[in-house]
Amino acid sequence: MRRPVIAGNWKMFKTRGEAVTFIEELKPRVANVTHCEVVVAPPFTALADAAQAAKGSGIGIAAQDVHWDAEGAHTGDVSPKMLLDAGCSHVIIGHSERRHDHGETDEEVNRKLKAALAAGLTPIVCVGETLEERESNQTQQVLQRQFQGGFAGLTPSEFSRIIMAYEPVWAIGTGRTATPEQAQESHAYLRELARAQFGEERAQAVRILYGGSVKPENIKGLMAQQDLDGALVGGASLKVGSFAGIIDYPAA
């Protein structure tokens, strides 16, 4: 049984105070939630305060990026050890906005992933095609390249500690969600890649989240798909009401 994960990616939103207020309001809304894991990803500056506020609530705290070195001359970067120190349990790696804004490559994703795993963080690794790639029928090629590059050299047991997120770039922040069938097709393909590289058991166990304009109104149809194990939510995770509405998908 794969336990679903609903994760909120706040991107470059919320001050420390806003993050704490959000967590305090979210806590009672998720106090009795057992059907899924709940994670939020505040910006670096709010991680420690958010983690403090979330203590004992079961809400996981994710960073939105990490460097592969433990320390060093890397201006602007943050190490796995620093994330643990701030109270993080998870870290998002390879989000398309980082790939696009910062030119992040599959090789860098791979290095970050290995460092996060070595530190004991749970990585949420993002893959997904652009509109141009989809329209030229390259979706599977792109996913294969990102998968094989991102997960190169991992042992099956390391792979079993990862959460994957399929985020078609054309669906992120556009209001244009993939249909449940489009999402399922890519999720099934990613599971197939996992099977080929890490074996049947690990492939069946890995959680694959969908991301791209997830809202309370469309989560139920997405979650009904066989290979979809949760969501990575951007815009709709910024308000407690809509984020809690997504977490409550079984009642939607």
- Nearest to ligand PGA by Cβ — which residue? 234
Residue from 4, 5, 9, 209 that binds ligand PGA (CB under 6 A)? 9
Whichever of 177 and 184 has its CB closer to ligand PGA, that residue is 177
According to CB under 6 A, which residues from 34 to 63 bind ligand PGA? none
Q: Any idea which residues carry the catalytic annotation? A: 95, 167
Residues 93 and 109: beta-carbon distance below 8 Å: yes
Is there binding between residue 212 and ligand PGA (CB under 6 A)? yes
CB of 95 to ligand PGA, least distance (A): 6
Written as one string, the DSSP assignment of 123-155 is EEEEE---HHHHHTT-HHHHHHHHHHHHTTT--
Residue from 122, 139, 184, 213 that binds ligand PGA (CB under 6 A)? 213
Is there binding between residue 173 and ligand PGA (CB under 6 A)? yes
CA atoms within 13 A on the CB side of 191: 20
Residue from 233, 240, 244, 246 that binds ligand PGA (CB under 6 A)? 233
Is there binding between residue 186 and ligand PGA (CB under 6 A)? no
Give the pair of three-digit tokens for residue 174: 């556009």
Residue from 4, 80, 234, 245 that binds ligand PGA (CB under 6 A)? 234
Residues 144 and 193: beta-carbon distance below 8 Å: yes
Residues 226 and 199: beta-carbon distance below 8 Å: no
Residues 93 and 126: beta-carbon distance below 8 Å: yes
Secondary structure class of 60 (helix, strand, coil) = strand
Residue from 119, 143, 223, 232 that binds ligand PGA (CB under 6 A)? 232
Is there binding between residue 214 and ligand PGA (CB under 6 A)? yes
Q: How far apart are the first and last CA of the chain?
A: 22
- Residue holding tokens 């696009």? 100
Is there binding between residue 128 and ligand PGA (CB under 6 A)? no
CB of 75 to ligand PGA, least distance (A): 25
Secondary structure class of 11 (helix, strand, coil) = coil
Is there binding between residue 164 and ligand PGA (CB under 6 A)? no
Is there binding between residue 167 and ligand PGA (CB under 6 A)? yes
